[in-house]
Amino acid sequence: MTDPSSASPGAASAAPPSLLHTPLYQLHLELGARMVPFAGYSMPVQYPAGLMAEHLHTRQAAGLFDVSHMGQLRIAGADAAAALESLMPVDVISLATGRQRYGMLLNENAGILDDLMFTRRATDFLVIVNGACKAADTAHIQSHIGTRCQVTSLPDAALLALQGPLAATALERLVPGVGGLVFMSGADFVWQGHDLFITRSGYTGEDGFEISVPALAAQDLARALLREPAVKPVGLGARNSLRLEAGLCLYGNDIDNGTTPAEANLLWAVQKVRRNGGARAGGFPGAQRLLAQIDSGCSRIRVGLRALERVPVRDHTALHLPGGAAVGEVSSGLLGPSADAPIAMAYVDAAHCAPGTRLDALVRGKAVPMQVCPMPFVPHRYHRG
């Protein structure tokens, strides 16, 4: 299942035996969540309040997400930074302790195997990968750099995300000092005797935190957070609509192993030191193709689209020039609750990707007018200090 927001609401349901449970599974059932299969886990797509209410609550207060299906890896050793940098077109070596960065694992054709977040800690790197990719990512990292550093999976660590403008106030009450973090930074904390690693980051465009917590303490921490007046549970459906409004990619929809960072409009994540002319240019899988695209451009690019009529445009919808040829396809699309308009991300021929370009989306045989627009669709509100 690639789009959890499409699941219909209903009563809580138990997971089939083949699906895995996160440490918060029982809490989800108690809260009346609608559970769906996602990345091999039984996950909450929404709670009784519904997707729209959960989305808007996160924008206005604080939403708590269970993202424990994500993979957590520890990479350690004297050569860990250089080894990790050899797999990605990003600057790992210069990253300061306590700082976090977005990265992408690439194949030999510069296709994105997965996107990830990594934080440099005092003695190692904490790497967070997508749930559906974590087994393949771990094997890929181990096979390429396992002789240069220690690559350790952390299956006994859960992951919670607390997002929204009141997230810092709520979390500070439980974990004093966490409010001192700024966007894309992280540090060690202790809650009721349990070691936490908290980063000020997330995937909604709002201020917020991601909390790596021992699995045995995850449910208690979640319950404590939900006792805060500003905090409500939020499922995968609203997580999807929030990240789309923020202009952030969903792996499997907007990026995959056939998409390069240049095509995905993610070159902001490729620092100058790794580009042609930089001190550590190249040296990663797919470098020849990606560096050529950075210098010369590529044939298609990911863009934002806003519908000019109130008609939602879904994934895989074809895009045409008005009355003319096909020039692209929607990768993610929905009615944005905060944007209050149908929005989408799409891959469009480079000749037709300029802001203001008019395109038609073919929805059930009808042409829906759309316009290429800048992203994000809703302004980011990260706390940068």
Please name the residues in contact with 330: beta carbons below 8 A apart, sequence gap of 6 or more: 305, 313, 314, 315, 316, 317, 319, 344, 345, 346, 361
Please write the tens of the pLDDT for every residue from 308-356: 999 999 999 999 999 899 999 999 999 999 999 999 999 999 999 999 9
Contact 153, 72 (CB under 8 A): yes
Q: Give residue 244's pLDDT.
A: 98
At 9, which helix (H) or strand (E)?
none
Q: Give residue 9's pLDDT.
A: 32
With H, G, I as helix, E, B as strand and everything else as coil, classify residue 226. Answer: helix
Please write the tens of the pLDDT for every residue from 194-245: 999 999 999 999 999 999 999 999 999 999 999 999 999 999 999 999 999 9
SS (H, E, C) 346-378: EEEEHHHCCCCCEEEEEECCEEEEEEEECCCCC
Please write the tens of the pLDDT for every residue from 37-91: 999 999 999 999 999 999 999 999 999 999 999 999 999 999 999 999 999 999 9
pLDDT more than 70, % of the chain: 96
User: Mind giving me the DSSP string for 236-275?
Assistant: HHHHHHHHHHTT---BTTTB-TT--TTTTT-GGGS-GGGS
Q: Give residue 92's pLDDT.
A: 98
Residue 15 pLDDT more than 60? Answer: no
Domains and CATH numbers, the chain: 4-69+156-245 (3.30.1360.120), 299-385 (2.40.30.110)
Please name the residues in contact with 38: beta carbons below 8 A apart, sequence gap of 6 or more: 1, 4, 45, 69, 131, 236
Q: Give residue 323's pLDDT.
A: 86
Please write the tens of the pLDDT for every residue from 124-144: 999 999 999 999 999 999 999
Q: Give residue 135's pLDDT.
A: 97
